[in-house]
Amino acid sequence: MSEPAPALSPSTSFWGSPDTVFDRLAGEWSLQRNIEGQATMSGVATFTPLEAGTLKYREEGRIRLADGKEFDGHREYLFERAPGGFAVHFAETPPRLFHAIAVVREGKGDGDVLAGSATHLCTPDTYDSSYRFLPDGSFTIRHVVHGPRKDYLSETVFSRRG
């Protein structure tokens, strides 16, 4: 009689390794964003495969400002597969690099997380961005923006739809 296969930790079963995170992004995600003291957003993010190794990211949702005003908003990026992670480009022609994320494993055992970070200088402001791919299959993107024109923290939580 053969022995049962060992149970996979949640992060291993969903996100796999740093090289497979990119593939797991395809599809629809619910998003909840908080921009500290300024606004919130609830909506949907979709990663649509384009040519091999590229995903079009589009988010759409309802933005609520701190003063109570509400409006619809959207944003687009292009995600490109890279060894051990991915690059994020602004959806412009030609595409312009926002940042490259090298994904690494943090922690040991069943509660480990895959994560990566990068810095982008948008003169004169700086964007420090971090991605965390969590054992429950969700992920977060956090941008700490500081400089003379902008100063805020934006954190978005993504959960798989359906």
What number does CATH give the domain 13-160?
2.40.128.20
Coil, helix or strand for 17? coil
User: Across-strand partners of 77?
Assistant: 57, 90
How confident is the model over 101-110, as a mean pLDDT?
Answer: 80
Model pTM score: 0.88
How far, CA to CA in Å, does 108 sit from each of 5, 9, 38, 114?
20, 10, 36, 11
Domain boundaries, the chain: 13-160
State yes or no: pLDDT of 7 exceeds 50: no
Render pLDDT for 23-77 as a digit per residue (tens, 0 to 9).
999 999 999 999 999 999 999 999 999 988 999 999 999 999 999 999 999 999 9
